[in-house]
Chains A and B, each alone.
Chain A
Amino acid sequence: QKEVEQDPGPLSVPEGAIVSLNCTYSNSAFQYFMWYRQYSRKGPELLMYTYSSGNKEDGRFTAQVDKSSKYISLFIRDSQPSDSATYLCAMIRTGTASKLTFGTGTRLQVTL
């Protein structure tokens, strides 16, 4: 079993929809959580970084962390075709010198 589980999708939604992307993890030592967006053949782009349970909002993006359930989410409001990409969750365990452990990524397609 992988340390970080993420549904690979693909997930297809119409423009304007609210998108929910999720990851679960098994090790409670994960304390820092990030969401990246990766367009095809490009480098991952950091969207959100959070380290406490609760919600963090940035524009159309909201990151949610529930440490008791070992579950994190990324919500995208008013989704646009330009949001079509692969979304990767990533986590850092305490005491691991900040190396990221990634989920497999969820491929999102926003259609007109």
Chain B
Amino acid sequence: DSGVTQTPKHLITATGQRVTLRCSPRSGDLSVYWYQQSLDQGLQFLIQYYNGEERAKGNILERFSAQQFPDLHSELNLSSLELGDSALYFCASSNEDGQYFGPGTRLTVT
């Protein structure tokens, strides 16, 4: 158990809908990262927050947004969902020893 928690574990929704994925980092970690893992693209960095502020952006679609709250938990919002958004979404938090991943949320868009 990495100490990073993510909810929900699974999400099934229809095209055009909006969903919110939630992440709680390990105790004491200020950074939160979001990654997407799909069969054709592998693990891709989406966005990073550090202590409530956006620190870095990857190839995150404009339909996706994220935020980190004062208690350091983070949410990833995905809107106008398309079939191609079906993937595993991972959250990670880090300290000087490395980045630790949560169990992921499996999103299926039908």
Query: A residues engaging B (CB < 8 A)?
Result: 34, 36, 41-46, 49, 88, 90, 96-105
Which residues of B are found within 8 Å of A90, using beta-carbon distances?
43, 99
Q: How many residues of B contact A (CB 8 A)?
A: 27
**Cβ-based interface call for B20 (8 A):** no
A45 near B101 with CB under 8 A, answer: yes
Assuming A98-B48, A101-B45, is B90 touching A44 (CB within 8 A)? Answer: yes
A85 to chain B, nearest CB (A): 14
Closest to B4 in A: A43
Closest to B6 in A: A43
A24 to chain B, nearest CB (A): 16
Contact with A along B55-76 (1 / 0, CB 8 A): 1101000000000000000000
B58 near A41 with CB under 8 A, answer: no
A49 near B43 with CB under 8 A, answer: no
A12 to chain B, nearest CB (A): 21
A42 near B98 with CB under 8 A, answer: no
User: Can you report 8 residue pairs joining A to B where beta carbons are below 8 Å apart?
Assistant: A41-B106, A43-B103, A46-B100, A46-B101, A90-B43, A97-B48, A100-B43, A102-B43
Which residues of B are found within 8 Å of A98, using beta-carbon distances?
31, 33, 48, 56, 94, 99
Distance of A100 Cα from B34 Cα, bound (Å): 10
Q: 8 Å CB contacts to A: which residues of B71-107?
A: 88, 90, 92, 94, 97-104, 106
Contact with A along B14-34 (1 / 0, CB 8 A): 000000000000000001010
Distance of A37 Cα from B42 Cα, bound (Å): 14
Which residues of B are found within 8 Å of A36, using beta-carbon distances?
101
